[in-house]
Chain A
Amino acid sequence: MNRYRNDFPLLQQTNDKNLTWAYLDNAATTQKPTVVLDTVADYYRKANANPHRGAYDLSVAATRALEEAREKVRVFISAGKAEEIIFTKSATESINLVAASWGKTHLAAGDEVVLAVSEHHSNLLPWQAAVRDAHAVLKYMYTDECGRIPDSEIESKISKKTKLVAVAHVSNVTGVINPVEQIIQKAHSVGATVLVDGTQSVPHMPVDVSALDADFYVFSAHKMLGPMGVGVLYGKAELLDDMPPFLYGGDMIEYVEEQNASFAPLPQKFEGGTQNVGGAAGLAAAIDYLNAAGMVNISGAEHDLTGYLLDQLKRIPYLRIIGPDENSGRIGVVSFIIEGAHPHDVATILNADRVAIRAGHHCAQPFMHYLGVQATCRASLYLYNTGSDIDRLAESLKGVRRWLGHGA
Chain B
Amino acid sequence: MELNDLYTDIVTEYASSQKHRHPLAHPDVTMRGVNPSCGDDISLELEIKNGVIRKAGLTGSGCAISGASAAIMADLVEGKSTQEARRLAELFLGMVRKDITDEKQLEELQDALAFQNISNMPARTKCAVLAWHTLEEAIKKWENGAAKNS
A345 near B65: Cβ-Cβ < 8 Å:
yes
B residues near A342, Cβ cutoff 8 Å = 61-64, 67
B3 near A344: Cβ-Cβ < 8 Å:
no
A264 contacts the other chain (CB 8 A): no
Give A372 to B48 CA distance when docked, in angstroms: 34
A211 contacts the other chain (CB 8 A): no
B39 near A403: Cβ-Cβ < 8 Å:
no
Query: How many Å from the CB of A352 to the closest CB on chain B?
Result: 5
- Knowing A404-B12, A404-B64, A405-B15 are in contact, say whether A348-B38 is a contact too (CB < 8 A): no
Indicate with 1 or 0, residue by residue over A392-408, a CB within 8 angstroms of chain B CB atoms. 00000000000111000
A345 near B39: Cβ-Cβ < 8 Å:
no
B124 near A348: Cβ-Cβ < 8 Å:
yes
Query: How many Å from the CB of B16 to the closest CB on chain A?
Result: 7
A residues near B39, Cβ cutoff 8 Å = 360-361, 365, 368, 374-375
- Knowing A404-B12, A405-B12, A405-B16 are in contact, say whether A344-B6 is a contact too (CB < 8 A): no
- Of the residues A341, A348, A365, A375, contact of B6 by C-beta under 8 Å: A348
Q: Give residues of chain A (359-408) contacting chain B, Cβ–Cβ below 8 Å.
A: 359-361, 365, 368, 374-375, 403-405
- Knowing A342-B64, A344-B38, A345-B64 are in contact, say whether A405-B9 is a contact too (CB < 8 A): yes
Query: How many Å from the CB of A10 to the closest CB on chain B?
Result: 19
A residues near B63, Cβ cutoff 8 Å = 342-345
B residues near A345, Cβ cutoff 8 Å = 7, 63-65
Give A352 to B15 CA distance when docked, in angstroms: 20
Number of interface residues of A (CB under 8 A): 18
Interface residues on B, range: 20 to 34
A residues near B3, Cβ cutoff 8 Å = 348-349, 352, 403
Indicate with 1 or 0, residue by residue over A338-356, a CB within 8 angstroms of chain B CB atoms. 0001111100110010000
Give A352 to B13 CA distance when docked, in angstroms: 21
B64 near A359: Cβ-Cβ < 8 Å:
no
Q: Give residues of chain B (68-110) contacting chain A, Cβ–Cβ below 8 Å.
A: none
A residues near B147, Cβ cutoff 8 Å = none
Query: How many Å from the CB of A400 to the closest CB on chain B?
Result: 10
A360 near B64: Cβ-Cβ < 8 Å:
no
CB-nearest residue of chain B to A343: B63
- Of the residues B7, B9, B16, B65, contact of A344 by C-beta under 8 Å: B65
CB-nearest residue of chain B to A349: B3
B residues near A359, Cβ cutoff 8 Å = 38
CB-nearest residue of chain B to A359: B38
Query: How many Å from the CB of A309 to the closest CB on chain B?
Result: 24
Give A345 to B65 CA distance when docked, in angstroms: 8
A404 near B7: Cβ-Cβ < 8 Å:
yes
B136 contacts the other chain (CB 8 A): no
B41 contacts the other chain (CB 8 A): yes
Q: Which one of A342, A352, A360 has the greatest number of beta carbons of chain B within 10 Å?
A: A342
B25 contacts the other chain (CB 8 A): no
CB-nearest residue of chain B to A340: B16
B38 near A404: Cβ-Cβ < 8 Å:
no
Query: How many Å from the CB of A146 to the closest CB on chain B?
Result: 22
- Knowing A344-B38, A360-B38, A403-B3 are in contact, say whether A374-B15 is a contact too (CB < 8 A): no
Indicate with 1 or 0, residue by residue over B1-35, a CB within 8 angstroms of chain A CB atoms. 01100110100110110000000000000000000
Q: Give residues of chain B (46-72) contacting chain A, Cβ–Cβ below 8 Å.
A: 61-65, 67
Give A359 to B9 CA distance when docked, in angstroms: 23
A-B contact pairs, 21 of them (CB 8 A): A341-B64, A342-B61, A342-B63, A343-B63, A344-B38, A344-B40, A344-B124, A348-B3, A348-B121, A348-B124, A349-B7, A352-B3, A359-B38, A360-B39, A361-B38, A365-B39, A368-B39, A374-B41, A374-B61, A375-B38, A375-B39
Using A342-B61, A344-B38, A348-B3 as known contacts, list a sample of 17 further A-B pairs with CB atoms less than 8 Å apart, ordered by residue number in A: A342-B62, A342-B63, A342-B64, A342-B67, A344-B63, A344-B127, A345-B7, A345-B64, A348-B124, A349-B3, A368-B39, A375-B39, A404-B12, A404-B15, A405-B7, A405-B15, A405-B16
A-B pairs with lowest CB-CB distance, top 5: A405-B12, A342-B63, A344-B63, A375-B39, A345-B64
Mark B residues whose CB is within 8 Å of A: 2-3, 6-7, 9, 12-13, 15-16, 37-41, 61-65, 67, 121, 123-124, 127
